[in-house]
Structure 1
Amino acid sequence: RALARELAIFDALVASVCARAEDLRRLAEAFARLDLYGALAEVAEKRGWTRPLIDASLDFEIIGGRHPVVEASLQSQGKAFAANDCDLGGADAGRIAVVTGPNMAGKSTYLRQNALIALLAQTGSYVPAQSARIGVIDRLFSRVGASDDLARGRSTFMVEMVETAAILNGASPRSLVILDEIGRGTATFDGLSIAWATIEHLHEENRSRAIFATHFHELTQLAKRLPRLVNLTMKVTDHAGDVVFLHEVIKGAADRSYGVHVAQLAGLPASVVARAHAILAELEAADRRAPVETLIDDLPLFARLAEPSAPKDSLRDALHEIDPDQMTPREALAAL
């Protein structure tokens, strides 16, 4: 009897709740919004975020931008985050920033922080920057990181190319694009060629605001021919033979990647590091004799290249000449 009474009370409660399900759903959604807005307001006040200006222009001007997650992590260790500016708009709307610099210097963080600032701004949040003026962005495209897709039989490079194709086929002048080291997953010249053509397509066809991080220093020479392309680099300094990363973005191009120095920091055996330095010196000497940069002056821009002509297909042409409605069964069999 007690169990029956308990079940009856429970059934009545369930029926009462179901009868007010829509009201409860709206109430839960309202509390969720309040929780979200309260959290954004709290973090904005605690971390000194500022109110962005969103308008209908194609501007993208960030002053003193910071990565919210990396900054919070550094603050917990008693360290300061190096804020950086980013300007992809103005009179040259649709500007592409090509960012070069060593590994561990902060290129990927710089890409991500500007994308996060744009995303936060368009959700109605304050942003981690001194000031931000952003023209409304219709889509945010990101090609960052390296991972394969074994379930679909895709290598890391194939995944990278599929995502890059989606960007080039979908980005518009109102889009924001961040690309991190396109072409690194294949042979050097193949990767350089793909990265080169990608930048030209973004500049001439998509005309999107974009940040393109790369170790292909040859790409910085494109600034001589593409008026909306600007070169940025991560500032580093040598101190007593060691590389010091300042995490500061400045105008200009890197002259080296310091990859061997980073490998040394990672703990590679001294013999391997010494051998790498020797090989690097030989390769750099060979490159100085025949620099890839000279190709920049020889090849036409992407927009001027003619579309490749389709190969002649005699079978297709023969099928086009056939009119099945005018043929007898015997003629059709003979044609087949």
Structure 2
Amino acid sequence: LAGTIDLAVMPAGSRLLGERLAGPLTDPAAIDARLDAVGFLLAQTGLRAELRRGLKSAPDVVRALARLALQRGGPRDLASLGQGLAAASAVADLLGRHDGLPAELAAAAQAAAGVEPSLALRLSEALADDLPLNRRDGGFVRAGHETALDETRALRDESRKVIASLQARYADLAETRQLKVKHNNFLGFFIEVSQAQGEKLLRAPFNATFVHRQTMADAMRFSTTQLAELEAKIASAADRALTLELAVFDRLSAAALVETERIKAASDGLAVIDVAAALAELAATRGWTRPQVDRSLAFEVTGGRHPVVEAARKRGGDAFVANDCDLSGEGDAAGRIAVVTGPNMAGKSTYLRQNALIAVLAQMGSYVPAERGRLGVIDRLFSRVGAADDLARGRSTFMVEMVETAAILNQASLRSLVILDEIGRGTATFDGLSIAWAAIEHLHDINRSRALFATHFHELTLLAKTLNRLRNLTMRITEWNGEVVFLHEVVPGAADRSYGIQVAKLAGLPAPVIERARALLAELEASDRQAHVERLLDDLPLFAARPTQDSMPAPAPPPPKRDALRDMLDAIDPDELTPRAALEAIYRLKRQRSDERDK
């Protein structure tokens, strides 16, 4: 979901969007404040585009500031701070030119403008255009910023010109055009000539000027007194220049760190603006609408869509089928449950998930993928979907399913939203049906949460006869030429078949397996399990008079303690005992009986 809705243009905006998605609000007033900001930028198309262009140029100033605080920053981090602060000032000015700003945008603009503009100007004036990654590489201070640094750099650069003139003079003196002045970290500055020319320089009068330093396979290297003096001068100038640049870096870093709190506040303000603009862009491009969030127990979604699936289908050129969902109710009618049945691949799980995601989006302060939505604040969202084991903890797939279901039934409240997908499928049919049946009754009578319950146990649809807040929904299909066509539409009613064999055929199971499955299904359906369950519904007192929270049955009595004396007698085989063993057994029984009396 985060990847689908994240249209933020700043790293800080993406982080804030993720935080909001992971922690939706439960205060309608705070939710409305966020929605007001999104709605304002949705209506102001031109302003939104300008803001997003300005925000896109803002680097991640918080990360840059953190590196500087840890003494790991470089010149590029200082430049990022300068660019970020300049962008913050520009965005704040842009918003300031518009009247009627929502409270959230006004506060964010004020925070963005909270850093003294002189800091951004100072950083811009001090730093060169082309910056090295590491501060010890030097060359990051702009020419003209520091007089002493400019003089030292001039001395260093002038020395390079002197080297060029020395090379020309030495070439004339050695009577060769192949002489070169080079430098390495081992010899410093040296003169390099060919092997033949080197032999000549070893003899008088050349050896009075040229001092032999190294012989190579095809060249010889020499030095002179002038080169040694020049090297010391250049090294001193380079070291001096780097020292001056590092001092400038330290002063700029200190000035930035003094403003840490205001810089962080400015970054947070930009992130808020970025998220509001991103959500407005999302609503504009995908046709999302503003939800109504209040303190009721409503859950009404008209034309709801799954944001992730819809985006994926749109990329493939396909449309998404929108569906309604109504779990609303107040007072005695609160806590409606919808049991969703239908074939495999018809869209039951998508329907459950899309309504849960709409709730999350609404309470994070976003527009939602629906024609209309009204939601009473949800305190917790419980989800039991999918099938997976946890072998590292010794849990089977069914055990994981039951642990998650137990957490829901023990914690869900009147304000919770519960989505349950295929409870009980990981065990025997009647075990699973019984657990799913009892779980629905508990949700209905004890938790009273708004809930969506998808199942292939079609017998559960009969509960609508006895549970007044339960309704049945089913996925529409049609059959054409013996094939199933999924319409992905949710309508009132109950399914009577799951069409699992048709789905197995689509998956590519061998034809003999499909034919055998059809024959077995016909035999099993002839047993009329549905009629048996209907009689169960009418006959069992458990379903005729379900317990309420105040009249839950008392816990079953603990099983009787084991009788140790009886167990010992059961373990004795008289036919196998010798006289001595029989006597020892009698003594053991006497001791056991004596011990029980003492207790």
TM-score when scaled to structure 1? 0.88
Match of 1:47 among 286, 299, 305: 286
Aligned match of 1:183 in 395, 413, 424?
424
Q: Return the offset for 1:288.
A: 4.8
Match for 2:362 among 93, 103, 121?
121
**CA distance 1:281–1:5, change in 2 (3 Å):** farther
In structure 2, the partner of 1:306 is 553
Counterpart amino acid of residue 307 in structure 1: A
From 332, 347, 350, the counterpart of 1:106: 347
SS in 2 for 1:291: helix
Alignment partner for residue 37 of structure 1, among 271, 276, 283? 276
1:77-116 counterparts in 2 under 5 A?
A: 77-90=316-329, 92-116=333-357
303-312 or 156-165: bigger deviation: 303-312
Classify 1:155/1:45 alpha carbon distance in 2 versus 1 (closer, same or farther; 3 Å): same
Task: Give the Cα separation in 1 of the matches to 2:435 and 2:359.
Answer: 27
Aligned equivalents of 1:11, 1:162: Cα separation in 2: 57
Superposed CA deviations along residues 208-248 of structure 1, whole A, max 9, x for unmatched, are 00000000001000000000000000001100000000000
Q: C-alpha displacement at 1:35, in angstroms?
A: 2.0
Is 2:414–2:449's contact at 8 Å kept on the other side of the alignment?
A: yes
**In 2, Cα distance between the equivalents of 1:293 and 1:314?**
39
Distance 1:32-1:277 versus aligned 2 partners, 3 A rule: same
Aligned partner of residue 414 in structure 2, secondary structure: coil
Q: Deviations over 1:83-141 (max 9, x none)?
A: 11111113532100000001100000000111111111112211111111111111111
Write the letter of the residue equivalent to 2:547. A
What does 1:1-336 align with in structure 2 at a 5 Å threshold? 1=239, 2=241, 4-5=243-244, 7-90=246-329, 92-288=333-529, 291-299=532-540, 300-301=542-543, 302-303=546-547, 306-311=553-558
Structure 1 residue 15: Cα displacement? 3.4
**Structure with greater Cα Rg:** 2
Residues 289 and 89 of structure 1, relative CA distance in 2, 3 Å threshold: closer
Q: Deviation of residue 277 (structure 1)?
A: 0.7
Provide closer, same or farther for how the CA distance between residues 313 and 88 of structure 1 changes in structure 2, counting only shifts above 3 A.
Answer: same
Summarize the Cα distance change of 1:288–1:314 in structure 2 as closer, same or farther, 3 Å threshold.
Answer: closer
Shift of residue 202, structure 1, vs aligned partner: 0.4
Q: Which runs of 5+ in 1 are unaligned?
A: 316-333
Residues 18 and 296 of structure 1: is their aligned pair in 2 closer, same or farther, counting only changes over 3 Å? farther
1:151 deviation in Å?
A: 2.4
**Conserved? CA contact 2:279–2:367, under 8 Å:** yes
Instruction: Report the Cα offset of residue 145 of structure 1.
Output: 1.2
- Distance across 1 between alignment mates of 2:391 and 2:479: 42
Deviations 1:158-181 (A, max 9, x none): 111111111111111111111111
Q: Which amino acid is 2:287 matched to?
A: G
Classify 1:287/1:122 alpha carbon distance in 2 versus 1 (closer, same or farther; 3 Å): same
Give ranges in structure 2 of 5+ residues lacking alignment: 1-238, 563-596
Letter in 2 for 1:205: I
The separation in 1 between residues aligned to 2:529 and 2:388, in whole angstroms, is: 34
CA distance in 2, matches of 1:152, 1:29: 41
Q: CA deviation at 1:28?
A: 2.2
Shift, 1:47, TM fit? 1.2
Residue 311 of structure 1 and its aligned partner are, at CA, apart by 1.2
User: Hey, what's the Cα distance between the residues in 2 that align with 1:153 and 1:25?
Assistant: 46
Q: Which one has the bigger helix percentage?
A: 2
Q: What secondary structure sits across from 1:50 in the alignment?
A: coil
How far, CA to CA, are the matches of 2:500 and 2:438 in structure 1?
A: 25
CA–CA distance in 1 between the matches of 2:534 and 2:243? 85
> Taking structure 1 as reference, are residues 246 and 20 closer, same or farther at Cα in structure 2, changes over 3 Å only?
same
- 1:17/1:144 CA distance change after superposition, 3 Å: farther
Change (3 A) 1:312 1:161: closer
- Flag the 1:28–1:280 CA change in 2: closer, same or farther, 3 A: same
Determine the C-alpha separation between the residues in 1 that align with 2:403 and 2:389.
Answer: 11
SS of residue matched to 1:90 = coil
Q: Once the 2 structures are TM-superposed, how far is the Cα of residue 306 of structure 1 from its aligned partner?
A: 1.8
Query: Secondary structure of the residue that 1:310 maps to in structure 2?
Result: coil
Give the conservation status (yes or no) of the 8 Å contact 2:459–2:530.
Answer: no
Distance 2:243 2:537 in 1: 85
Q: 1:164 to 1:7 in 2, by over 3 A?
A: farther
Deviation at 1:307, TM superposition (A): 2.5
Structure having greater relative contact order (Cα 8 Å, sep ≥ 6): 1
- Shifted more, 27-36 versus 167-176: the winner is 27-36
Q: State the alpha-carbon separation in 2 of the partners of residues 28 and 264 from structure 1.
A: 56
Normalization by structure 2: what TM-score? 0.51
What is the RMSD computed on CA atoms of the aligned residues? 2.2
Distance 1:258 1:314, change over 3 A: closer
> Is residue 413–residue 447 contact of structure 2 (8 Å, CA) maintained in 1?
yes
Query: What's the CA shift for 1:18?
Result: 3.1
Aligned mates of 2:558, 2:391 — CA distance in 1: 34
| Matches of 1:46 and 1:200, distance apart in 2 | 43
Please give the per-residue CA displacement for 1:167-212, whole angstroms capped at 9, x wherever unaligned. Answer: 1111111111111111111111111111111100000000000000
Moved more, 67-76 or 109-118: 67-76
**Counterparts in 2 of 1:20 and 1:156: CA distance versus 1, 3 Å:** farther
